[in-house]
Chains A and B, each alone.
Chain A
Amino acid sequence: MNVLAIIGRAVLAMLAAIGRVTLFAVDTVSHLGRPPYYPREFAQALVQIGYFSLPVVGLTTIFTGGALALQIYAGGARFSAEAVVPQIVAIGMVRELGPVLVGLMIAARVTSSIAAEIATMKVTEQIDALITLSTNPAKYLTLPRVLAATVVMPFLVGVGDIIGIMGGYLVGVERLGFNAGTYLRNTIDFLEPLDVVSSLTKAAVFGFLAALMGCYFGMRSDRGAQGVGRATKSAVVAASVLILAANFVLTELFFSA
């Protein structure tokens, strides 16, 4: 087998996939300006994606914030810089770990459920039924989910950032002997508006990607239970990778001076 041919085919397949995803994204967004809208579906998606994700967001970030404080304290001790724990926890949570971890948790929780739901609908002809009932699946299924994820993720990440800092604070004050007031003051003084803006912007982008991947792979599902399984797996993998890649690009945009 010709190695170049294999590589060439893989590259072409990837470019084609990127093209298809881009078209899907553009089509989805274009429905924003074209009624009818389905507010009931949007509200449901907000609750499903936003409200019901709060527990997992809280658990993920509180443990991470706590562990971060321990690590920075131990690492910082090697060059007597233990005092920077509040600042580094804040910056690490808000700039990176908050958005990325919440993004990945949303990929696990929301992307998978969207993909499985839509793929099942596709496989059981519910998508066809929607069309025959004069309802555009892009407007009724995709747009509400993608829009809800995009607007609700900044809220989730905001909560996650705060809880993560809280985790660091608890460890700092209870375990590492920091003064409570000083810890908080250091955190607040050190954070800049740009840190928060970048965090929330990343959140919106990650939310968009997570829901979009769920819808895209769900809509393209093959027939049968295997098709649903494959669609779900591909959606979660694609969402996770895209979130990490987008995180790099956005970090570059915001912080490379």
Chain B
Amino acid sequence: MIELVDVHKAFGANTVLTGVNLTLRKGRSMVIIGGSGTGKSVLLKCVLGLVQPDKGAISVDGTDVTNLRQGTPERDAFLARFGMLFQGSALFDSLPVWQNVAFRLLRGSLKKPRTEAHEIAVEKLRRVGLSPDVAELFPAELSGGMQKRVGLARAIATEPEIIFFDEPTTGLDPIMAGVINDLIRGIANEMGSTAMTITHDMSSVRAIADEVAMLHDGMIQWTGPASEMDSSGDPCVAQFIAGSAEGPIETVR
């Protein structure tokens, strides 16, 4: 279970999060929606400890993880449970695609023989709709959507307990987006993983989410089961679903 209590974060004068409260139960799939620039990516990075919150507490399975120091065994153990797809893919451009996917399997505590790691990488690539030829290419040789899917394959390579997806379907064609939605849905169902996904795509929300959280103005405005999203009564959510310019979410930010 992931729990955020009153999380604040500002970058200088730019206040981004102003008291986020959010709970995600184990094995559930949550989608975070919200306008561009509202701090969704920052929120995920706070949980991972990549961004240090100014105030508030974040706990995973009851253990406070807000102040874990880099390099401690506790932090290593914490990170080992996570997979993360970054918004910009963040592939290592000095390594071929398969070594990106199998990064964790080639070193450290999860180290496997190279041939086995290669096989796993190819299998994960197949799951995100990429052929084995892609495995030998370098990230710079791929299209943006392909890079995104390699990032996805890397995030799920070790079948982590908790997976964060930052805009997994942005830049993909609708068919591939459907494949990825099914994949994320399947990950939560089959592997029993806890998933937190950021997306702007309402069809993805409906395909992936058990629960939906709306981030606006630095706070979670509404959270509830995906089935209740349409009748939420929250003006932000309603505006987001309708894609309308009228409502609390301004069009200039």
Contact = CB atoms under 8 A, between A and B. Distances in A.
Contacts of B80: 134
A174 interface: no
B62 interface: no
B45 A128 contact: yes
Nearest to A132: B84
A126 B104 CA distance: 14
Given A36-B108, A131-B79, A134-B108, A125 B86 contact: yes
B142 interface: no
B76 A134 contact: yes
Contact of A125 (B70, B83, B90, B104): B90
Question: Looking at A36, A131, A132, A135, which has the most chain B CB atoms within 10 Å of its CB?
Answer: A132
Nearest to A139: B71
B82 A132 contact: yes
Contacts of A201: none
A207 B71 CA distance: 26
A129 interface: yes
Contact of A133 (B70, B87, B88, B104): B104
A131 B107 contact: no
A124 interface: yes
A131 B50 contact: yes
Given A132-B50, A134-B80, A125 B107 contact: no
B93 to A, nearest CB: 8
Contacts of A125: 86-88, 90
A26 to B, nearest CB: 14
B248 to A, nearest CB: 29
Interface residues of B, number: 25
B98 interface: no
B91 interface: yes
Contact of A135 (B45, B48, B88, B107): B107
A38 interface: yes
A130 B71 CA distance: 13
A187 interface: no
A134 B70 contact: no
Given A124-B90, A126-B90, A126-B92, A132 B103 contact: no
Given A134-B76, A134-B80, A136-B70, A128 B104 contact: no
B108 A128 contact: no
B76 A132 contact: no
Nearest to B87: A125
A36 B90 contact: no
Interface of B: 45, 48, 50, 70-71, 76, 79-80, 82-84, 86-88, 90-94, 103-104, 107-109, 154
Given A121-B92, A125-B86, A132-B83, 14 more contacts: A117-B94, A125-B90, A126-B90, A128-B50, A128-B90, A129-B84, A131-B48, A131-B79, A132-B50, A132-B79, A134-B76, A136-B70, A136-B71, A138-B71
